[in-house]
Amino acid sequence: MIEKIIINADDFGLTSSVNRAIVESFDKVLINSATLMANMTGFEEAVEFIHNRKLDKRIGVHLVLTDGLPLTQEIKSMNLLFNNAIPSPLRINKLFFLNKRKQFIIFNEYSEQIKKIRRNGISITHLDTHHQIHDMWAIMRIMLELLKTYKIPSMRILNNLNKSNYFYKNTYRNLINNYLKARNVNFTDFLGNQLDFLSMLEKNPAILNNKKKRIEIMVHPDLKENGLLIDKIGGKEYDFRFQKEITGYLETFKI
């Protein structure tokens, strides 16, 4: 099922709080897709929610190297699994180019995450990554192999709604996105968070009239201590303010 706009909640399975926020977001029709983390403490609860609400055909895989516990042993030697953030030297030096052994180790870890989700009866719609590390060339190439090996139709592109101040970064993102589109494995044609989307919509509202283009808005739902549903962006908290902007563009939005 393909919508004009995909609103994907990352981090399903991260914690119980995030799980409940994502379920509430589905129930309130604030999202129509989510990606599941196979190696986090909330995985089993997330799977139960998915089956209870018949969401299994709206779930992709949120591939993880940088949080939680690995599913394979060999990857521990690469010192890639840790909490909260990825230091920029690690991104540049260890993930952009990888030798064949390290590619094999990461492929195996990602494979176990995919297989664990499939063993739990979930149809996988697409792949994306925790902390968006598939912006690293080597990780992106590994994901292409995963698509082929496990017959998964598509993967997330790089953020192209938020234009960088650096020419080289925009050029690189465009090259990668065109590379994925040429192979017909792009999940959507545009990607950004809700702030990126609203900024784009203000500059170019006609984009929603292009029936051949699909847009993904990535959100990170969570619940505050008072139970209020929020979307976390860059460490800040937002409500789902973009909803009123897309009324009428989600003909098949409801589950």
> Which residues make Cβ contacts (< 8 Å) with residue 234, sequence separation at least 6?
none
pLDDT for 249: 54
The residue with greater pLDDT, 210 or 125, is 125
| Average pLDDT of span 15-41 | 95
Instruction: Please give the CATH number for the structural domain made up of 5-246.
Output: 3.20.20.370
pLDDT at position 164 is 79
User: What does the pLDDT read at residue 29?
Assistant: 86
Closest CA to 230 of 238, 218, 26: 238
Q: Answer whether residue 157 shows pLDDT above 80.
A: yes
Please state which of the ranges 2-16, 30-44, 66-80, 128-142 shows the lowest mean pLDDT. Answer: 66-80
Structural domain boundaries of the chain?
5-246
Over 80: is that where the pLDDT of 3 sits?
Answer: no
What is the per-residue pLDDT for 251? 43
Higher pLDDT, 25 or 240: 25
What pTM does this model have?
A: 0.91
How far CA 142 is from CA of 134, 148, 236, 247, in Å, comes to 9, 10, 31, 37
Of the chain, the percentage scoring pLDDT greater than 90 comes to 65
- Segment 136-145, tens digit of pLDDT: 999 999 999 9
DSSP code of residue 197: H
∠ at Cα 207 (174, 244), nearest 5°?
120
Name the least confident of 90-94, 182-186, 229-233: 90-94
Tens digits of residue pLDDT in 192-216: 999 998 888 888 888 777 878 899 9
Tokens representing 127?
């792949």
Q: What is the mean pLDDT of the chain?
A: 88
How far is the C-alpha of 235 from the C-alpha of 122, rounded, in Å?
A: 30
Please give the single-letter amino acid code of residue 36: L
* pLDDT score at 255: 32
| pLDDT (tens digit per residue) in 64-97 | 988 888 999 888 877 666 555 555 545 545 667 7
